[in-house]
Structure 1
């Protein structure tokens, strides 16, 4: 069972074969070669690649509870679960059945955090006091307290009938490190300003509950996520020396604008060294991927970050042609 202060020395982390990162436009030779400061501790994250059924919140939360228990038994400090794990992404039932936060579904996750003494980051659907529905993500500590609640900003067009646009970002200082939270498409290459902002706010870890979907005909051989997700994750990781971790759901989508498509896993953890872990391509069954990530050392603050980016070749003054 993980303790609140259950750090492992970086040298004792489970060895992971790191994949080479794809070249990115914002990187020059200096950026690619720039060494990251040596970490002082290692965070063990359980990436809970969960089967999420549309419109079945109780069944989904039961599966989440089992995943949390397994992660705790394997020594995880934090469990990262998918986007909108209660009703599933863009399922129509969310419009009428979404709960407040705090509320029934968030309370269940808080209880699991206390029971297993782990941090939990998870995506839920929230009905706000205003009546608006949000695609939300929570970070919960082992005392069952909600440390931060985030509303997705970079909503896909098909999400607009379901969720309102979020308006705030936050980074929380915890014993595990400084943690920022965003959701899925917030890490699209054209929405990366959100990740840049979290990094500017001091995040060492960016946690991203996700629901990565593809057409039903897509198979593992297509490798649909290398450019779509590895590239933006790597940009943030290498520019700022942060770890970016996204956990996605699995399962066929029932109801809503993407009915008939599927969520296929491929959850991803990337830091400045490369790909730390990647989940299986699997549309049928959940899987827990455990990854040890050295806590990034980020001494720069404020304008020092801009100076660091300039040294790495990042350009602030170039407009599109």
Structure 2
């Protein structure tokens, strides 16, 4: 039986990467002080800037990113895994990546993941987003075999695309992740049900650290960082949009128990889908 203490760091990132990094370091250290050995930060941990030009002026390549450099140093100092939910980094050719980074207790980067699904939506009230105009979409989705279990990496809007999480679960992922900067209105409507649905249908833990509150660039995010167990129960939640951290024990034996009760992955079959046109009588 593998039991670990997992943590979510909730942020309210602004435009200053140095300030965001310093605040996050304090919360990461606090979570480790509470016993966490796997610590996850939210999407866009290093900076939240709506203007593409301003964003590019404030970021760097991954190797020089202030937030990732801090996370590597702190992971080695504390002997913990730090999962940077994502950072905006320069990706060459004038492109930007929304990139998650998993860091080992020795400070080494274990894996990275570039967000696959771009949040291109028009919401009620005039709120509109076009991530594809700023970010280069990723093409590969990883599962990382860690000492305590197998972890699948995803980011925010990916949570609405169940195929990612099913593919990861087929590869044995015990823990699924979707660190996020969910908008307030979509979070109020769908945040909890989406996290719980991905956990239930895959019989896996879902851990999602979140951005929360009103940010310097004017956007509002939902907060409510969550850890959901393989049966769909919320193990821990920051029931607010304020910066902070939560720590909860997760027992990976519950994954095999859930999958034995409802063997949805084992029972799944390939199928074809077709459209049938109903008979329509031609007018006389």
Any idea what the Cα deviations from partners look like across 1:143-184, whole Å, max 9, x if unmatched? 011111101111111212211111111111111211111101
The aligned counterpart of 1:265 is 223
Q: Is the 8 A contact 1:170 1:180 kept in 2?
A: yes
Question: Residues 128 and 266 (structure 1 numbering): CA distance in 2 closer, same or farther, change over 3 Å?
Answer: same
The aligned counterpart of 2:30 is 70
Please give the alpha-carbon distance, in whole angstroms, between the structure 2 residues aligned to 1:281 and 1:211. Answer: 14
Q: How many equivalent residue pairs?
A: 258
Q: Is the 8 A contact 1:44 1:77 kept in 2?
A: yes
Structure with the larger RCO, 1 or 2 (CA within 8 Å, 6+ apart): 1
Pairing 1:173–2:145 present: yes
Larger radius of gyration: 2
Q: Considering fraction of residues, name the structure with more helix.
A: 2
Please give the alpha-carbon distance, in whole angstroms, between the structure 2 residues aligned to 1:230 and 1:251. Answer: 17
Q: Is the 8 A contact 1:266 1:281 kept in 2?
A: yes
Please give the alpha-carbon distance, in whole angstroms, between the structure 2 residues aligned to 1:89 and 1:205. Answer: 30
Q: Structure 1 residue 233: deviation in Å?
A: 2.5
Describe the SS at the equivalent of 1:235: helix
Please give the alpha-carbon distance, in whole angstroms, between the structure 1 residues aligned to 2:141 and 2:118. Answer: 15
Describe the SS at the equivalent of 2:69: helix
Pairing 1:293–2:250 present: yes
Q: Point out where structure 2 has 5 or more consecutive residues left out of the alignment.
A: 121-129, 277-284
Q: Structure 1 residue 50: deviation in Å?
A: 1.5
The aligned counterpart of 1:213 is 183
Partner of residue 236 from structure 1, selected from 198, 203, 227:
198
The aligned counterpart of 2:91 is 128
The aligned counterpart of 2:59 is 98
The aligned counterpart of 1:280 is 239
Describe the SS at the equivalent of 1:61: helix
Q: Is the 8 A contact 1:90 1:162 kept in 2?
A: no
Q: Point out where structure 1 has 5 or more consecutive residues left out of the alignment.
A: 1-39, 216-223
Alignment of 1:50-61 (within 5 A): 50-53=11-14, 55-61=15-21
Describe the SS at the equivalent of 2:56: helix
Please give the alpha-carbon distance, in whole angstroms, between the structure 1 residues aligned to 2:32 and 2:187. Answer: 28
Please give the alpha-carbon distance, in whole angstroms, between the structure 1 residues aligned to 2:192 and 2:156. Answer: 13
Q: Is the 8 A contact 1:247 1:267 kept in 2?
A: yes
Q: Structure 1 residue 226: deviation in Å?
A: 6.7
TM-score (ref. length: structure 1): 0.73
Question: Residues 75 and 91 (structure 1 numbering): CA distance in 2 closer, same or farther, change over 3 Å?
Answer: farther
